[in-house]
Amino acid sequence: MKRNWWKESVVYQIYPRSFKDSNGDGIGDIKGIIEKLDYLKELGVNVLWLSPVFESPLDDNGYDISDYRKILNDYGTMEDYEELIAKAHERGLKILMDLVVNHTSDEHPWFIESRKSKENPYRDYYIWKYPKDGKEPNNWGATFGGSAWEYDNETGMYYLHCFSKKQPDLNWENEAVRNDVYDMMNWWCEKGIDGFRMDVISMISKDQSFPDGKVYGGLYGDGAPYYMNGHRIHEFLREMNREVLAKHDIMTVGETAGVTIEEAKMYAGEDADELNMVFQFEHVSIGDGPYGKWTTNRYDFMEYKKIMIKWQEELQGKAWNSLYLGNHDQPRSVSRFGDDSEEYREISAKMLATCIHMMQGTPYVYQGEEIGMTNAYFEDISMYKDIESLQYYEELTGAGLMEPEEMMECLKLRSRDNARTPMQWDDTVNGGFTEGTPWINVNSNYSRINVEHQIKEKDSIFQYYKELIQLRKENEVIVYGSFTAINREDEKIFAFKRELDEKKLLVLCNYSKEETAFKVPEEFTPEKGEVLISNYRVNEWKEEMILRPYEAIVLTFQTVL
């Protein structure tokens, strides 16, 4: 397997709006990020991915960009961004930019021009269709609710928006669009960024016949089969690679909703000239129901384990995995996959981290995960800010498909705002995030769960993450070792082996709150193993083990040849 710096990295995702406010306006900003670089250095991560900080009317918190080359006032200036790059680089930290080019904002000059007339030179930058039988061109629903088509009076045609109506989809069939995007990307690379996280990049190639989609439980058809992993996607990415990526030493990760193993091998194959790695979505979609993510179903462990094992085993040696449990679109990982009760929060957060960080791939830490931040569990709909949560609340309760109380329960478990509450730095007002009024409520548990406390405490989640990240730097087997699942049928324990030359790791994670027995397979027992890390801080192990609630233990073996 080829050695690459991005395989050896740990990425930390910053959601700038909620990370650190430096000027008291209640909104996180770039100067706030600069203030915290030493904290991130201390944690040990070496790549920072920033969610978008560009000019935007903020319909979708910045994933609706109106100028790709300008920093939004809320976040600071281009000088601040340049200072961030320089100060990050001084500390050996790299910066990933969020590239949102499936769509722009409807306030982007390209769209302002495009909607003016059918003859406008920018008309074909977007996807315009005539009404069909006086209605939308097809039945596709938008990801944030409602139809994916918006009628525009000016020219009597509809434009496509797979997300909100303020996020019109770019027409990637148009070469001029692609060239403008590549120019912009090269411009950023020359400024010194170190790579791109590519927003919904699997959606840029659409089936040009725009057929109706299947209707599941909601009001609209599912267009995903016609716009995800479309027929020209790999051609576009290879072109992007030639025009931009191959010219710089950068890292790329594609957000590829709907990606399969076969597709992932094409996007991120060892010898593919496309991307370095992709985010798959299978494990974060477990339990989804007829209304998609709006359900109170909890995840099923066996299904989760099967999915994780499949991605590990099938990509190894062929493509590279991105390892994540949370991000700005997902609930807090400890609330979802672990147990955020007072009793088990710390231990289960450490167990989840052990499991993820010991797999093959590049781990991603989402801000606050390293201190075990939990879901917000907002009690009132007025506390939510996220367009997706608000639109679906209206749509599903409005159509009588769900009672408001039921939808509130779904939001508590799945709303994106669970991950977007401000970073909890200390136990002062607003968790030390801002001296003003935060744009979204701080989680009420900030006086108990915060960075200051976690740094002081000897055996905190933060200290544990630090150790895990350090171990990756010192043990090649964690990065490059092969992966083999062990005792696949075990209903509580996720066990696997990593192996590189004469080094072997055995990773055991109890995903339940019950004590669970585990017999170490014979292949390990003749060798003398040592505990590499353990969340209960044990330093001995036995062949017959009883793993306590959410216990995680990693054993290391050195074969004497």
Active site residue 199: yes
Choice from 15, 122, 163, 366 touching ligand NOJ (CB under 6 A): 163
Binding of ligand NOJ by 60 (CB under 6 A): yes
The count of residues interacting with ligand NOJ (CB under 6 A) is 9
Binding of ligand NOJ by 240 (CB under 6 A): no
Choice from 329, 339, 346, 395 touching ligand NOJ (CB under 6 A): 329
Binding of ligand NOJ by 63 (CB under 6 A): yes
Would you say 163 or 311 has its CB closer to ligand NOJ?
Answer: 163
- x/- contact string, 282-321, with ligand NOJ (CB under 6 A)? ----------------------------------------
Q: What is the DSSP secondary-structure string of 489-551?
A: T-SSEEEEEEEETTEEEEEEEE-SSS-EEEEPPTTTTTS-EEEEEETT------SEEEE-TT-
Would you say 101 or 471 has its CB closer to ligand NOJ?
Answer: 101
Would you say 346 or 417 has its CB closer to ligand NOJ?
Answer: 417
H helices of 273-370, in order, are 301-315, 333-336, 345-357
Binding of ligand NOJ by 81 (CB under 6 A): no
Residue with the shortest CB distance to ligand NOJ = 63
Phi, psi of 22 (to 5 degrees): -100, -15
- Residue 389 CB, shortest distance to ligand NOJ, in Å, is 11
- Token pair, residue 1, equals 């397997």
Determine which one of 74, 98, 199, 274 is catalytic: 199
Determine which one of 55, 98, 169, 255 is catalytic: 255
* Residue whose tokens read 């890390």: 533
Binding of ligand NOJ by 106 (CB under 6 A): no
- Residue 439 CB, shortest distance to ligand NOJ, in Å, is 16
Binding of ligand NOJ by 200 (CB under 6 A): yes
Report the chain's terminal Cα–Cα distance, integer Å. 23
Active site residue 530: no
Would you say 328 or 350 has its CB closer to ligand NOJ?
Answer: 328
Look up residue 367 and give its amino acid.
Q
- Residue 240 CB, shortest distance to ligand NOJ, in Å, is 18
CB 446 within 8 A of CB 424: yes
Would you say 142 or 532 has its CB closer to ligand NOJ?
Answer: 142
Indicate the length of the chain as a whole number. Answer: 561
Would you say 60 or 263 has its CB closer to ligand NOJ?
Answer: 60
- Token pair, residue 337, equals 């996959």
- Token pair, residue 498, equals 């990593």
Q: What is the DSSP secondary-structure string of 208-255?
A: TT----EE-SSSSEE-HHHHSS-TTHHHHHHHHHHHTGGGS--EEEEE
Choice from 71, 100, 508, 554 touching ligand NOJ (CB under 6 A): 100
What is the rounded distance in angstroms from the CA atom of residue 280 to the CA atom of residue 299?
16
Binding of ligand NOJ by 59 (CB under 6 A): no
* Residue whose tokens read 């992993």: 229
80-101 burial, b at 16+ Cβ within 10 Å, e below that, comes to bbeebbeebeeeebbbbbbbbb
Using only the alpha carbons of the chain, give its radius of gyration.
23
Active site residues: 199, 255
List residues binding ligand NOJ (CB under 6 A): 60, 63, 100, 163, 199-200, 255, 328-329
